[in-house]
Amino acid sequence: MVTASSPVLVFDSGVGGLSVAAEIRRRLPGLPLHYLMDSAGFPYGNKDDATLIDRVVSVCVAAVNEQRPRLLVLACNTASTLALPALRAALDIPVVGVVPALKVAASASSSGRIGLLATPATVNRSYTDNLILDFATGCDVRRFGSVELVQWAEDWIACGREPSGLFEHLDSWLMHPQSLSHVVLGCTHFPLLKPMLERLWPTICWVDSGEAIARRVEQLIAGQEVNAKQEKVMLFWSGERIPAEGVQRYVAGL
């Protein structure tokens, strides 16, 4: 039974899903929010699909059984492209996944030159091919798979360390042969670096799914009780290693 204290559980392998949690918090400040990071399973990018599906389902089902949330947000693009059907089959609560916002970027770009910046696994999946066919036909979609940005986002939240090689890493892809007008941040880690991306490439519009996910959560809980008073976000993790102080401060500030 859903009560005012029933939380929404946001799940990711690391800190990336905090970008989604922040959007949910802004839109629904009275909604109890739990954040679970699969520290023991991080990173997801080096695991095969079958292992990853088993891992995500196992960790999420255990967390749902323990925490009894009203809804689960799978705030990880890689996990969403693989494990969403299995999770929905295993759970009796709504499960919201994350999809790269290619439709938004394609609709907004007058030049039709858009980019998808995600993990190598996401940019190479047939799931992504189908998204482009469905929502970005006629656009020039350039893809870039980066594992570096995932770690840079982790380091930024954990210890406040700005990535030193960001410009060299992305500039050639972003600006040549012609500059992209819109870039889809297809990994939830990447919006955490958005202030730096906007500073280095101010002419590009950076698009992520956080606001859309928050709107979807709002739709799904419409009519349910929420707290009138905002409570702090609760942080959970797998394994014995306690999250870095920077991560704890970030969560406390939501």
pLDDT tens digits along 185-210: 999 999 999 999 999 999 999 999 99
Q: What is the pLDDT of residues 75-108, one digit of tens each?
A: 999 899 899 999 999 999 999 999 999 999 999 9
Number of domains in the chain: 2
On whether both 224 and 192 belong to a single domain, the answer is no
For residues 57 and 141, membership in a common domain is answered with no
- Give this prediction's pTM: 0.94
Residue 2 falls inside a structural domain: no
Cis peptide before 29 (omega within 30 of 0): no
Are 88 and 141 contained in the same domain?
no
Q: Does any domain span residue 76?
A: yes
What is the Cα–Cα distance from 9 to 122, expressed in whole angstroms? 23
How many whole angstroms separate alpha carbon 200 and alpha carbon 24? 27
> Helix or strand or coil: residue 91?
coil
215 and 204 belong to one structural domain: no
Confidence (pLDDT) at 4: 87
Residue 194 lies in a domain: yes
Residue of 139, 159, 187, 205 marked catalytic: 187
Do 189 and 219 belong to one domain? no
- Considering the domain architecture, whether residues 74 and 131 belong to the same structural domain is answered as no
DSSP type of residue 204: S
Across 10-33, average pLDDT: 96
Question: Is the pLDDT reported for residue 153 higher than 90?
Answer: yes
> What is the span of the domain harbouring residue 50?
8-98+211-252
159 assigned to active site: no
The enclosing domain of 190 has a CATH number of 3.40.50.1860
Q: Give yes or no: 76 in active site.
A: yes
Q: Is residue 54 part of a domain?
A: yes
pLDDT of residue 47: 83
Q: At residue 98, what is the residue type?
A: V
1 confidence band (pLDDT: 50, 70, 90): confident
Mean pLDDT for the chain overall? 95
Question: Which of 76, 139, 159, 205 is labelled catalytic?
Answer: 76
> What is the side-by-side strand order in the sheet with 182-185?
140-145, 113-118, 182-185, 205-207
Query: Are 30 and 154 found together in one domain?
Result: no
Same domain, 71 and 34: yes
pLDDT value, residue 72: 98
Model pLDDT for residues 119-150, shown as the tens digit of each residue:
998 898 899 999 999 999 999 999 999 999 99
Helix or strand holding residue 218 (H, E)? helix 210-220
pLDDT at residue 64 tops 90: yes
pLDDT of 227 reads 80
